[in-house]
């Protein structure tokens, strides 16, 4: 069995590569290393081919699809502020790139296609836990482009019969998470701060809650989805719980400094996972306590990560407040 993983050198992608090799797959990774790291795959011993390319631009990489069975499309630009400042980059990567990957998969007659969508497409939901049929209301270009990618997948299912489905990830965390971006950012930030002996920078009062889902659980969901016969479905992937940032800080242990709340961020993320449990037979296995313990055991990964301070965060998020702050004032 041959699987192709776009974004396979990234946080979630590299864990997926590990899992696929473990079950006997050969794996091709497509990554431009804008956020992915070669270090994430250095430990791999197995039939792995890594191709550096930009999926937003058609090229020789398209030929790789001719020999694959399963396609997992994880590659995306995933930072909020840069998407506000330079939305065209996000449309090229997350929309045009997704269309290129879909077309290559269709032409190669891939047996399964799994797209990683984002819970950010819900915007600021008012139903908890949030089901898949909740209103779509993206608050910034990253969220918009990820949902547009999801719409493309649905269209390729309807028009071309591509055997595809989408998984809406909530707040994924675990080893190899970054200190910026959508997935695992708060953990990466906090662990780098802990190593440096600096206080945790908590947004607002810290009582906002997040559906923190451990990376091995989402990887299992990806493989479960590819192994299923489901076509055209959209599934939430969450932990089955929602945990406050203050609780997370208590589990990590350390001093805290509070910084201004950011506009456009929900007070709560909490996935309704009843559909994926019923239709795909998947359920999360790792509790927040277990997950944090695993992270602390591997904290050395973040030794060279940037250490964010209230001042650097304020500078990095000024465009966030500039553009999204207008919405909260109206």
- Token pair listed for 87: 């939305």
Which position among 142, 160, 183, 258 bears the catalytic label? Answer: 142
Residues 6+ apart with CB under 8 A from 16: 5, 8, 72, 74, 219, 222, 223
245-252 vs 185-196: helix crossing angle, rounded to 10:
40
Is residue 183 annotated as part of the catalytic site, yes or no? Answer: no
Distance CA 168, CA 300 (A): 30
Residues 6+ apart with CB under 8 A from 103: none
Residues 6+ apart with CB under 8 A from 22: none
Residues 6+ apart with CB under 8 A from 311: none
Residue with tokens 């984002």, as numbered in its chain: 118
- Token pair listed for 61: 């990489």
Just list the catalytic residues.
Answer: 142
């Amino acid at each position: 069995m041959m699987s192709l993983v776009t974004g396979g050198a990234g946080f979630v992608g590299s864990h997926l590569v590990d899992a696929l090799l473990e079950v006997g797959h050969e794996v091709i990774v497509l990554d431009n290393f804008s956020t992915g790291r070669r270090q994430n795959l250095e430990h791999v011993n197995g039939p792995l081919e890594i191709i550096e390319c930009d999926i937003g631009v058609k090229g020789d990489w398209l030929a790789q699809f001719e020999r694959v069975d399963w396609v997992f499309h994880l590659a995306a630009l995933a930072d909020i502020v840069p998407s506000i400042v330079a939305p065209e980059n996000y449309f090229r990567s997350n929309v045009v790139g997704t269309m290129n990957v879909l077309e290559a998969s269709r032409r190669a007659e891939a047996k399964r296609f799994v797209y990683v969508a984002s819970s950010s497409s819900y915007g600021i939901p008012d139903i908890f836990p949030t089901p898949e049929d909740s209103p779509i209301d993206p608050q910034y270009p990253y969220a918009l482009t990820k949902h547009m990618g999801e719409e493309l997948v649905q269209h390729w299912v309807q028009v071309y019969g591509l055997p595809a489905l989408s998984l809406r990830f909530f707040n994924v965390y675990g080893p190899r998470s970054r200190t910026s971006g959508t997935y695992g950012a708060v953990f990466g930030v906090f662990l780098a701060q802990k190593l440096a002996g600096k206080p945790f920078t908590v947004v607002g009062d810290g009582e906002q809650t997040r559906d923190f889902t451990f990376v091995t659980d989402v990887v299992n969901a990806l493989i479960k989805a590819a192994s299923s016969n489901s076509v055209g479905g959209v599934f939430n992937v969450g932990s089955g719980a929602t945990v406050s940032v203050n609780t997370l800080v208590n589990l990590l242990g350390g001093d805290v400094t509070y910084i201004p709340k950011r506009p456009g961020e929900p007070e709560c993320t909490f996935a309704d996972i009843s559909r994926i449990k019923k239709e795909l037979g998947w359920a999360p296995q790792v509790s927040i306590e277990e997950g944090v313990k695993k992270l602390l055991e591997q904290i050395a990964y973040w030794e060279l990560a940037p250490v964010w301070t209230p001042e650097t965060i304020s500078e990095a998020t000024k465009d966030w407040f500039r553009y999204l702050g207008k919405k909260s004032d109206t």
